[in-house]
Each structure stands twice: as structure tokens, then as C-alpha cells.
Chain A
Amino acid sequence: MSRITEKVRAGDVRTVARLIRDIDDGMPEVRGTLKDLYPYTGNAYIVGITGAPGVGKSTLVDQMLSHLRGQKKTVGVLAVDPTSPFSGGAILGDRVRMQRHSMDEGIFIRSMATRGHFGGLTQSTRSAIDVLDAMGKDYILVETVGVGQDEVDVVKSAHTTIIVVIPGMGDDIQAIKAGILEVGDIFVINKADREGTDKTLNELRLMIEMSQNKYDEGRWKPPILKAQAAFDKGIAELLEEIEGHRSYLNKAFGGLHFRKRKDKVREELAGMVKNRLIEGVINKLTETGEFDAAVKSIVEGKMDPYTACDNLVLPKLDFSAE
């Protein structure tokens, strides 16, 4: 076992933090460590929490942390915030709502920006989850702002996905990507003391029933919960539903390991292969100057992008050439 692997398994905060940073920055040496750590993953229960900005996800996570610690569980948190498309920078402010837990040794909280990532948000988050898993956390909570496809994809890495909305979202709910409604296992209407809660509940129920597959006997039916995270209301019920979903998954798939689920493994591997290819091919083409030459010919009107692309890629895809 390498030194880094040892330290991660021992729960060394500094090592884990640096490793996640290296994953963020796409450092090549990370691959070796991730390979070493992989056998130690598969123990943590992963919960994704997503929803529009301002619905109270971080507050919800903060309360969940208290409850889980009350049950003596250890927790890792990944809080993902959007990178500014203009400057490439980001303000990572989810931690503010959870700071009271920062001195708790049983909790590790890490903020991540969406576009700091090599190979895409999903891959980096997936790797960070693996690290927290290998670190020995019982639960891993992944919080994202579910407005982009990337952010929606991230929660597919979770066992249970929670969609958080607030009352009166009305048209906003219509605007929520269909993708989100399909991946939701549990729906929470936060700030449920506000007007319009029941109306929102009914609208949501209707939309969920329309977008999710027909309910066969024994399939999970996503509950809709009311909560007021700021007042610690509805959190115990939420955790109960999560446990309920966990039992369901255990029964339905004969275990919780993602490794046992062909669909998940396929998805993850396809994503990794895609990223590796892109990394390899674009880097090579940039190195040889072919890429820039292609850009030049498009700009000069000498070639269309489709032809340029085929010229760059097709020769590389010739599997018959050894």
C-alpha cells in the first residue's frame, strides 16, 4: 500500500484534502492512487442533494449532518458551486451554512467548483467520492446546484438522490429539466411554512408521476416531504426515507455496491473512456500542431469544421492499423 493510500485509509485530513485538489487539477499521478484506493471503496452510502439556487440545500445538509452525527455516523460532504463562465473563478459559499461542523472530526467538508475539473465535473466528483469512501466515511453527501446537465449527472453517482424545491416555484418547476425529475428518489419541499406549499406538492406529484416510469409492484415510489430546514423540521423524516430507499436498493439489487449494477458501471466506464480519449487525442493533436492548423484553415475559409474534424480524428481511429 502506498503512503498516500495508507494515510487516506487512516483518515488523514491533509492528505485527503491535497488528493482531492490533485484530482481537481488533473494531476497524472492521481491515477495510481485512485487505483490503489478503489478496492477500499463501496462502503459509504452516497446521497445526492440537488435543486435550484436558494432552496436551502446547504441548510438541509447542515441539519442532516447533525442528525447523522447523533447516530454516530461519520460523514463526508462535497459541496459543488458553479464556476463563473466569465472569469473562471468561483465563490464557494455552501460551507458557510455548515461551519458549525468544521471542528467535528467525524465530518469532512469540501467545496468544489464545477469547472475546475479535468475530464468534467462528474468524473472529478466521482473520484472525490471514492476518496472519501476509502477514507472510511459512512455517508457521503454531495450537494450540487441542479441547473446544468453536468450537475444533474453528478447525482447519478449517488445511491439516493434528493431533489429540493420551495413552495410557489410554479413555473419554475415546469422549467426544471425533465432529467432532474427522473433521477429524484425523494423530493423535499423546503421552507414549507410558506404559502403555496400544498399547491406545489400536488403539482410536483403530478409531474413526477408523468415523468417517472410506470410503477410496477415493488418499485420505489418517490415520496414528497415537507420540511423547514432552518428550523430542523422534517429532517428526521427525510433520514427515515433515505433508510427506506437504502433497504429498497439492497433488496432490489442484492446489495448496494455500484459494482454490482451493470448500468452504473457501464455509465461510469463510458464516461472515463470518453474523457481519457479526449485528453489523449486533443493533447496529441495540440502537440503536433495539427489542431491549430485545422483551426487556421477553418478561420481562413479553406475548410469546414466537419471535414477538419474528420481529418484530425479518423486516421487515429483506424483500429486495424497496429
Chain B
Amino acid sequence: MVAKPGLDGHDRGARIIARAYRDAGFEVVYSGLHQTPEEIVEAAIQEDVDMIGLSSLAGAHKYLFPRTVELLREKGADDIVVCGGGIIPEEDIPALKKVGIKQVFTPGTPLDVIVKWVEDNVKPR
């Protein structure tokens, strides 16, 4: 699932990565803008996804990303891998990884690098 938590006004990056995943043969459920962590987690469970890619451009990552991981844990769905992308300062990344965000992809990361990481690190079921 490619999800946009928070107040970001546009989602070009998320759409680009969604397309890259599709071209790599993945099935991508796209959540749309302005999602709460609760909505994202509920949708991810209904769709039985293997991974959630969270995209944030406006600084919401510090609260919304960990909150998403927390909710997955509460619902017994923490086998779903969570990754982050967007405008995320390097110095915030260690904290994110500590709470369970498996990988963070900053702007400029080549799409094929991201896709390869997913292929190598996210096992279906």
C-alpha cells in the first residue's frame, strides 16, 4: 500500500513510486491523500498488504509514521513491513528506524533502488 498520511496537498511522488512498483509487477493499493494512521492501518488489514509505504512531505513523519507502526502492533498486524519516503531529514531517520520503520527513502533515491530493496526485503505472506 502506498499511503499519504497527514496534510500533504499533493502526491506526485507517491504516484510515481506506485507506478514504479506496478511496473515491477507488484499490486499497489493506493490510499489517496489526507489519511489518518487509523484509516491507513484499517485499509492495509482489509487489503492484506505485505508492506505499507508512507509518504510525507510536510514534516508529519515524526508523529504519523510511528503512530502507524503502533496501530499495526495493536491490531496484531505488525508482520506488515512499514517504510517511509518523502521530505525526511537524515537526522530523523535513526529514530524512525528505532520505532519500527524498516527503511526510509529520501528524495533522489533512484526508483530501481527502492524497488530492489522491496524485492529483497519484503516477502509476500
Q: Which of A21, A95, A99 contacts B125 (CB 8 A)?
A: A21
Nearest residue, chain B, Cβ from A112: B27
Judge whether B27 and A95 touch: CB under 8 Å.
no
Asked if A96 meets B30 with Cβ closer than 8 Å, knowing A17-B48, A109-B43, the reply is yes
Given contacts A14-B45, A87-B23, A102-B43, 12 further A-B contacts (CB under 8 A): A14-B48, A14-B75, A14-B77, A17-B45, A87-B25, A88-B25, A89-B21, A90-B22, A96-B32, A97-B32, A109-B46, A111-B29
Judge whether B31 and A96 touch: CB under 8 Å.
yes
Asked if B28 CB lies within 8 Å of chain A CBs, one says yes
Asked if B24 CB lies within 8 Å of chain A CBs, one says yes
Interface residues of B in 24-82 (CB under 8 A from A): 24-32, 35, 38-39, 42-43, 45-48, 75-77
CA A84 – CA B23 in complex, angstroms? 8
User: Interface residues of A: mostly helix, strand, loop or mixed?
Assistant: mixed
Interface residues of A in 86-137 (CB under 8 A from B): 86-93, 95-97, 99, 102-103, 108-111, 113, 116
Judge whether A92 and B28 touch: CB under 8 Å.
yes
Judge whether B28 and A18 touch: CB under 8 Å.
no
Judge whether B43 and A99 touch: CB under 8 Å.
yes
Asked if B19 CB lies within 8 Å of chain A CBs, one says yes
Asked if A178 CB lies within 8 Å of chain B CBs, one says no
The residues of B with any CB-CB pair to A shorter than 8 Å are 18-19, 21-32, 35, 38-39, 42-43, 45-48, 75-77, 125
Find chain A residues with CB under 8 A from B23 CB: 84, 86-87, 89
Judge whether A89 and B32 touch: CB under 8 Å.
no
CA A87 – CA B77 in complex, angstroms? 28
Nearest residue, chain A, Cβ from B33: A96
Asked if A293 CB lies within 8 Å of chain B CBs, one says no
Judge whether B39 and A89 touch: CB under 8 Å.
no
CA A95 – CA B45 in complex, angstroms? 13
Interface residues of A in 59-97 (CB under 8 A from B): 83-84, 86-93, 95-97
Report the minimum CB–CB distance from A1 to chain B (whole Å). 22
Judge whether A89 and B31 touch: CB under 8 Å.
no
CA A234 – CA B23 in complex, angstroms? 38
Nearest residue, chain B, Cβ from A107: B46
Interface residues of A in 259-305 (CB under 8 A from B): none
CA A25 – CA B32 in complex, angstroms? 26
9 closest cross-chain pairs (CB), A and B: A96-B32, A89-B22, A17-B48, A21-B48, A89-B25, A88-B25, A92-B29, A93-B30, A90-B27
CA A102 – CA B42 in complex, angstroms? 7
Judge whether B29 and A95 touch: CB under 8 Å.
yes
26 pairs, CB–CB < 8 Å, chain A vs chain B: A13-B45, A13-B46, A14-B45, A14-B75, A14-B77, A17-B46, A17-B47, A25-B125, A84-B22, A86-B23, A87-B24, A89-B23, A89-B27, A91-B30, A92-B30, A93-B30, A93-B32, A95-B32, A95-B47, A96-B30, A99-B31, A99-B43, A103-B42, A108-B46, A109-B43, A113-B27
CA A320 – CA B43 in complex, angstroms? 53
Residue with the highest number of chain A CB atoms closer than 10 Å, among B22, B23, B24, B39: B22
